[in-house]
Amino acid sequence: MRLAVYPGSFDPITFGHLDVIERAGRLFDRLVVAVLVNTRKSPSMPAEDRAHIIREAIDEELGSSGAAIEVIVFEGLTVDLARQRGAMAIVRGLRALSDFENELAIAHLNRKLAPEVDTVFFMTGVEHAYLSSGLVREIAAFDGDISAMVPAAAARGLRRAATLPGA
């Protein structure tokens, strides 16, 4: 059983994330998409809501090919999750050169903490190379059209969060 974990903030999931999920889902027998805490960011909605949106997006956009993909919320280190689940790899997406330095640091530190777990990078599809959750949130905050950037489930989630602030 080749299992991988894909950690991230997913605030919210974009088509770039979904592209990585779909491709990683094909490469591994099982993929655990994990909403984790990034201490350098303050999230716009609770982790459980972000995980719920990811599950909806996978079901709606990937259909039966999403069956071996699990979505969870995890509090702690990515490597602890990887070890708990017996994962052989951590999956991350790379959009542009600007992602590289940060991702390199995380991958090296994770490898120091858990040498048996490798990080596997997916080049995000070129059509999603300039997409980020932060920019999507900014466009959504001003009622811009985000339908080409995020799955419908994420657009619905952002609308819900805007109408029920703090909920």
Q: Which residues bind ligand PNS (CB under 6 A)?
A: 7-9, 36-38, 41, 77-78, 106, 109-110
If one counts every other C-beta atom within 10 angstroms of the C-beta of residue 56, the result is: 18
Residue 160: which residues within 8 A CB-CB, separation 6 or more? 167
Known catalytic residue at 112: no
Q: Which C-beta is closer to ligand PNS: that of 50 or that of 55?
A: 50
CB of 102 to ligand PNS, least distance (A): 8
Task: Look up 41 and say whether it is catalytic.
Answer: yes
Min dist CB 13 to ligand PNS, Å, is 10
Distance of alpha carbon 33 from alpha carbon 7, whole angstroms: 6
Out of 17, 55, 128, 137, the active site residue is 17
Type of residue numbered 121: F
Q: Is 17 marked active-site?
A: yes
Adjacency order of strands within the sheet including 30-35: 69-73, 30-35, 3-8, 89-94, 118-123
Write down the least CB distance from residue 92 to ligand PNS, Å.
Answer: 7
Is 64 assigned a catalytic role? no
DSSP designation for 76: S
The residue annotated as part of the active site, out of 41, 108, 159, 160, is 41
Catalytic residue among 50, 55, 92, 95: 95
**Which H helix or E strand runs over 121?**
strand 118-123
The nearer residue to ligand PNS, 77 or 139, going by C-beta atoms, is: 77
Active site residues: 17, 41, 95, 133
